[in-house]
Amino acid sequence: MAIELKVERIAHLFDALDPFPIPTRDLSPATDEFIVGWARDLSPRAPIRIVVHAPREEAGIDGAVLSDAFHQHFAARAERMSGDLRELFRFGRLALSIGLAVLVLCVIGARLAMTGENAIGRIVGEGLLILGWVANWRPLEIFLYEWWPIVQKRRLFRRLAAAQVELVGHRRAETNAV
């Protein structure tokens, strides 16, 4: 399956504020969003192909340069996702250590509060136990669920970085793109 883009100018694919030449320039947010949106709908196992339709006079840019620009952009996005994942796990480990310390203190406090037949002591003890487990809610959420979407995005960006990019020239009258 191919993701197809039609442009009047190759420059429209890239971020106008990025001062670097095309191979290292970031794709424009609209281009990135369009490609990622379509790629999400593709089969996760199928190779991705990106076909860029541009006027023949615009297609004078080397297709390999355009392909390299797409590869570099999505490889950088995948690397950022890896950094986000490392940061999330680092925060998760810190939150877990704090959560476990709070749990230990709450269990000790609950045992001390429930040493007699005092109803208030039982209420305080039960409250401390609940507080100790709730303190571990966030680390458990991180380690059980929160990292999956980041891994899926990183996998998608890696697939896009490996995508085959083709540049197809056409007559200017054939396009109705921006």
Which CATH number is 2-174's, of 2.40.30, 1.10.3430, 1.10.287, 3.40.50? 1.10.287
Separation CA 159–CA 165 (nearest Å): 12
Provide the pLDDT confidence category of residue 174 given band limits of 50, 70 and 90: very low
Question: pLDDT by residue (tens digit) across 137-156?
Answer: 999 999 999 999 999 999 99
Question: pLDDT by residue (tens digit) across 81-139?
Answer: 999 999 999 999 999 999 999 999 999 999 999 887 888 989 999 999 999 999 999 99
Look at the alpha carbons of 5, 10, 16, 19 in this order and tell me if their dihedral is positive or negative: positive
Nearest to 109, CA basis, from 123, 95, 94: 123
Q: What is the pLDDT of residue 69?
A: 87
Separation CA 146–CA 61 (nearest Å): 42
Provide the pLDDT confidence category of residue 11 given band limits of 50, 70 and 90: confident
Strand ranges of the sheet holding 2-6, from the earlier edge strand across to the other edge: 2-6, 49-55, 164-170
> Quick one: 63 exposed, middle or buried, by C-beta within 10 A (0-12, 13-18, 19+)?
middle
CB atoms within 10 A of CB 39: 19
